[in-house]
């Protein structure tokens, strides 16, 4: 397993991107076609280490809600 020793990675770039686009966690959950929860989005913004699967769900939902195409490295600094 490739998870970092420290599971709290600090505030992530996704938090700034949500603010930039005027989106909330609810907007991502609503835009998602997969099982995405408010708790997953909150953990992503706070910097809690997430599995690649959950990071993918969040990336897909953000791209859909914002109408953009962000790469994974643009959302998380521990990619």
Round to whole Å and give the CA distance between 47 and 15.
9
pTM summary value: 0.86
User: Lowest-confidence range among 6-10, 14-18, 67-71?
Assistant: 6-10
CA distance 33 to 68: 16
Can you give the pLDDT at residue 35?
95
Phi, psi at residue 33, to the nearest 5°? -100, -5
State pLDDT tens for residues 23-76. Answer: 999 999 999 999 999 999 999 999 999 999 999 999 999 999 999 999 999 999
The domain spans of the chain are 13-75
In the structure, what pLDDT confidence band is assigned to residue 1 with cuts at 50, 70 and 90? very low
What pLDDT is attached to residue 3? 52
List the helix and strand counts (H, then E) for the chain: 5, 0
């Amino acid at each position: 397993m490739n998870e970092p020793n420290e599971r709290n990675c600090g505030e992530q770039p996704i938090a700034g991107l949500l603010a930039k686009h005027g989106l909330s966690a609810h907007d991502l959950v609503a835009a998602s076609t997969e099982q995405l929860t408010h708790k997953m989005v909150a953990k992503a913004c706070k910097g809690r280490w997430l599995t690649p699967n959950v990071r993918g769900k969040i990336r897909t939902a953000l791209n859909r809600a914002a109408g953009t195409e962000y790469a994974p490295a643009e959302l998380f600094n521990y990619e």
